[in-house]
Structure formats: C-alpha cells, structure tokens
Amino acid sequence: MLKVGDFEIHSIVNGTMRLDGGAMFGVVPKVLWQRKCDVDDLNRILLATRTLLAINRRAGKVLLTDTGTGSKWPAEEAQRYGIAPDPQAMTRALAGLGLSDADVTDVIVTHLHFDHNGGATAWADEAKSSTVLRWPGARHWMHQRHWTYAHDPTPKDRASFLRRDIEAFESPGALTLVSAGEVRAGMGKTDARRTAACDAPCQGIEWFVSNGHTRAQLLPIFHGEGGPLLFTGDVIPTAAHLPVAWVMAYDLEPLVTMEEKESIYARCRGEGLKLAFPHDPHIPGVELEANADKPIIAQTLDL
C-alpha cells in the first residue's frame, strides 16, 4: 500500500492476458524486448490487468481505476488473447481492507479497450443478451471525447472496442463525462444534459488526458504527501515501456505518445511524480531517478 495524502492506494491484479510482443513494442526489435518479457511460443508476452484501488476514508470514497478484461468472453476469443480473469480479485481485495463491492463510490474508466474496462460490466443473466454495471451504485467517469470516439473508432483500433463492453454505459445517468475541464452528466452516446457540481471524484485528484494511444484516455493523478502518483494507462503500460521510443504499434499517434511520455518524465523530475502501471505482471509502479536525463528506476513501489 502507498499512502498519498488522504489516499490509501493499492494495485490489484484482476487477471492476466497475452498479446503479441511485436505489437506491444512497435519498432523495437524482439532481440531487445524479449530480455524484459515472458514470451510464449506464439510470440505473445505475459501482461497483468491491474485495477488501481484508492481509498479516501476521510471523504468516504472508494475509487477503482480500470477493471480489466472481465469475464464476458467466449472460449475461443479468450484463448486467442490468453485471457485469464480473476472475477473475485476486487471483492477479495476490498474484503481484506474491511470493505465490500457495495462500498465502491467511483469507477474511473481510462478508456474502453477490452483489456482495461471489460470488467466494469457483467452479463445481466444466463442468456448473455445484455449487460449491467458491475458496480451499479458507483459514479463512472470517462472523457466525453473518448465516449464519442468509442462509438466510431478507426479501422486500426476498432477490434479493441467491444459492443458488450459499451452498451451498459448508454443507460441514462450511467456516466459522468469529463470535457475540457468541466464535467457533464451524459445520456446516450454524445448528449451532455447537465453540468455536474465537481470535476473529479474528490479533492486531490487531477486528470492527465492522453491522446497518443487512443482519443482522450483519462488518467488520474493522486496528490498529497507521499505523491503525486499517476496511473499511466497505455501511455506506459509496463516498466519495459519506460524508454521514450518504446511505444506500442496499437497507438493511434505514436509520436504523440512519445511527447506525452516526455511530459510525464519532466514532472517526475520536477515534482517527484510516481508511476503506477496497468499491465506489468511483476512491477506495480516505480519512482524514477530525479536527476537522470532518461527514465531510470530508482525504486519500485509497494502497491
């Protein structure tokens, strides 16, 4: 656990999966990235799917950032991606902290790619004809531009958006949409019907909006003594992706991703920003050396 201000922060592994190593590292040759990864005979590397759990007991907040692949997978599709979810991981983690699923107040949906937020919803019944929110009592946060984009992605990333992961969010009031510094409560795909009273789940949270991997990926930064801490999302999916040029072939704008990484590292040097990863199977997060001109791990974080 890492204490950042009023936040108790934990990185919870909610499953694992495997994706093609070449796709995960773009132009970086295998001779380099294979030294850092568990690679199988199909050239797929092992990845964790992590939820960042942040508890602010003073504010009465229990926040989840990203929810993993979920369990709504036909066997053939799950085998293709080596998907092995742990559906009870969050329930167990919450119980170990004296909490339950009913105590979750907020879910931050960084983006709607299946490996990040398929777990935010579940099948409504055995017929598997519709879905419901897994944490129906929580407020779900997403960037408005990403919500719009998810309904009309490019051919390059269309396969990452699954209809079964999106439909439950289309119910009135299901989403709180962040847009240009303000928050709007959304109904339907792109409607913005009323302005919400705040622009984040609680004080001490800042948004970092990333556009390199996908449109308007919404990443929280937690502030306070012991921080700040950024959940890096798919800007820096694992510790192996720390070098600026090591970006994914999945990225819509790889040069933008590189610029975003440079911006993040400048804040690491200037503010002591710490990093929490979504996909590293072994390292939940790191603190970088403050005086280095490239990202060098000073210490790993106990999350």
The predicted pLDDT at position 183 comes to 45
Regions of the chain short of the pLDDT cut 50: 181-197
Q: Which residue's structure tokens are 């997060």?
A: 285
CA 199, CA 184: separation in Å to the nearest integer?
9
Domain ranges across the chain: 2-300
Beta bridge partners of 61: 56
The predicted pLDDT at position 184 comes to 45
Q: Domain spanning 2-300: which CATH class is it, in words?
A: alpha beta
The predicted pLDDT at position 195 comes to 32
The single-letter code of the amino acid at 143 is H
Query: What is the tens place of the pLDDT at every residue in 214-227?
Result: 999 999 999 999 99
CA 146, CA 217: separation in Å to the nearest integer?
7
Q: What phi and psi, each to the nearest 5 degrees, are found at residue 25?
A: -125, 5
Task: Determine which helix (DSSP H) or strand (DSSP E) holds 8, and give its type and residue range.
Answer: strand 7-20
How many CB atoms lie under 10 A from the CB of residue 264? 22
- Distance set, CA 3 to CA 53, 188, 223, 271, 303 (Å): 12, 37, 10, 17, 9
